Structure 1
Amino acid sequence: MSNDGQGSWSTLNASLEDIATENGTDLLTPQDGFDYELSPYHIAKILIYIFILLISIFGIIGNGTVIWFLGFCMKRNPFTTFILHLAAADIGTLICLFPFSIINLLRSFLYLPPYMDKIVTLVYILFFFMYNTGQYLLTAISMDRCVSVVFPLWHRCHRPPHFSTLVCATIWIISFLLTAINLIASIFNILPYIIFYLLLMNAILCLPLMTVSTLVLFIKVYFRSQQRKKGKALTAILLALLFFLFLAFPLTCIYLFIFSPPFIDYNVGSVLISVGFLCSCLNSSINPLIYFLIGRNKRARSRESMKVILRKLFKEEENCSEEQEVPVQTQM
Structure 2
Amino acid sequence: MESFCLISAACGMVGNGMVLWYLGFRIRRNHFTVYILNLAAADFGYLLCIAIETVQYLMQFNVGVQFGIFLFLDLSMYGTGLYLLTAISIERCLAVLCPIWCRSHRPRHLSGIISGLLWGLSLLLNTLGYVLCTVRPSARSCQLLLIAIGSLDFLFCTPLMLLFSLTLFLRVKCSSQNLRTGRLFTVIMLTVLFFLIFAVPLSVLILFDFLGYKFLYSPEIGFVLSCVNSSLNPVIYFLVGSYRDRRI
TM-score norm. by structure 2 comes to: 0.91
Among 65, 88, 104, the alignment partner of 1:118 is 65
Structure 2 SS opposite 1:229:
coil
Residue in structure 1 matched with residue 111 of structure 2 by the alignment: 164
Residue in structure 2 matched with residue 230 of structure 1 by the alignment: 181
Q: Which runs of 5+ in 1 are unaligned?
A: 1-47, 300-311, 313-332
Q: Is the counterpart of residue 137 in structure 1 residue 93 in structure 2?
A: no
Structure 1 SS opposite 2:28:
coil
Among 228, 232, 237, the alignment partner of 1:286 is 232
Q: Is the counterpart of residue 188 in structure 1 residue 188 in structure 2?
A: no
- Separation of aligned partners in 2, 1:154 and 1:175: 30
Q: CA 1:227 to 1:295, structure 2 compared with 1: closer, same or farther past 3 Å?
A: farther
- Separation of aligned partners in 2, 1:121 and 1:225: 53
Task: Encode CA deviations 1:75-129: one digit per residue, 9 max, x unaligned.
Answer: 111111111011101101001000111122233xxxx4xx432111110011111
Superposition deviation, residue 196 in structure 1: 2.8
Q: Which runs of 5+ in 2 are unaligned?
A: none
- Separation of aligned partners in 2, 1:122 and 1:69: 30
Q: How does 1:1-332 map to 2 (within 5 A)?
A: 48-107=1-60, 112=61, 115-185=62-132, 186-189=134-137, 190=139, 191=142, 194-224=145-175, 226-261=177-212, 263-264=213-214, 268=216, 271-297=217-243
Superposition deviation, residue 253 in structure 1: 0.5
- Report if aligned partners of 2:57, 2:63 keep a CA contact under 8 Å in 1: no
- Separation of aligned partners in 2, 1:193 and 1:239: 33
TM-score norm. by structure 1 comes to: 0.69
Structure 1 SS opposite 2:218:
helix
Structure 1 SS opposite 2:180:
helix
Residue in structure 2 matched with residue 30 of structure 1 by the alignment: none
Q: CA 1:283 to 1:236, structure 2 compared with 1: closer, same or farther past 3 Å?
A: same
Superposition deviation, residue 192 in structure 1: 5.8
The AA in structure 2 aligned to 1:205 is F
- Report if aligned partners of 2:199, 2:222 keep a CA contact under 8 Å in 1: yes
- Separation of aligned partners in 1, 2:55 and 2:143: 21
Q: CA 1:297 to 1:255, structure 2 compared with 1: closer, same or farther past 3 Å?
A: closer
Q: CA 1:61 to 1:93, structure 2 compared with 1: closer, same or farther past 3 Å?
A: same
Q: CA RMSD in A?
A: 1.9
Superposition deviation, residue 136 in structure 1: 0.7
- Separation of aligned partners in 2, 1:193 and 1:283: 28
Structure 2 SS opposite 1:104:
helix
Superposition deviation, residue 214 in structure 1: 1.2
- Separation of aligned partners in 2, 1:175 and 1:104: 25
Q: Which runs of structure 1 show a deviation greater than 4 angstroms over 4 or more consecutive aligned residues?
A: none
Judge which range, 235-244 or 290-299, deviates more.
290-299
Q: CA 1:278 to 1:187, structure 2 compared with 1: closer, same or farther past 3 Å?
A: same
Superposition deviation, residue 226 in structure 1: 3.6
Aligned length: 242
- Separation of aligned partners in 2, 1:203 and 1:274: 17
Q: CA 1:159 to 1:227, structure 2 compared with 1: closer, same or farther past 3 Å?
A: farther
- Report if aligned partners of 1:220, 1:227 keep a CA contact under 8 Å in 2: no
Sequence identity percentage = 38
The AA in structure 2 aligned to 1:149 is V
- Report if aligned partners of 2:146, 2:210 keep a CA contact under 8 Å in 1: no
Residue in structure 2 matched with residue 326 of structure 1 by the alignment: none
